Amino acid sequence: NVQMSGQLTTQGDYILQPGPDVCYGADQFTCGVLEFNLKCSKETKLKFKAEMIGPDGASDSMWVQIKGTGSRLAWHTGQTSDWGWSSADSPEVTAPAGNSVMQFYGREKNFKVRHFKIVHGEADCKFFGPPAKTPTRLVVYKK
């Protein structure tokens, strides 16, 4: 299941980080978070891609973390003004064996996202529970 909190909002078939302008420094984790269930057959190093719009250098990143492990890492996705897969993979995170929660935090204003997919570690880890489109590609929000 997807959990969404904070300032993230749904717009049509995607999720938008509406503001403030930036979510780092003292306020870096107050902009909202998307949480997705993962199930891994063994401890696995993971990387993701996002189907997103990040039209400029002030709206092309998010934070990533496995809940309760390590630190949140900045993911600079690359810029695109139309829907497309991020040109950069996420930073590598290590998921434990069994069930865990993947977190994607808002970081910059006007960043839009509608899908995530596992691009490294997909043989050992899967998204589970709705709204998974496939076990390794996740529909963030569908109206």
Exposed / middle / buried, residue 103 (Cβ in 10 Å: 0-12, 13-18, 19+): buried
Residue positions counted in the chain? 143
Alpha-carbon gap, residue 142 to 8, rounded angstroms: 15
How many Cβ atoms are within 10 Å of 81's Cβ, its own excluded? 9
| Residue 109 pLDDT level (bands cut at 50, 70, 90) | confident
Question: How sure is the predictor about 143, in pLDDT bands with cuts at 50, 70 and 90?
Answer: very low
CA distance 109 to 43: 33
pLDDT at 132 over 50: no
Are 109 and 38 in contact, with CB atoms under 8 Å apart? no
Please write the tens of the pLDDT for every residue from 78-89: 998 999 999 999
Tell me the pLDDT band of 119, cut-offs 50, 70 and 90.
very high
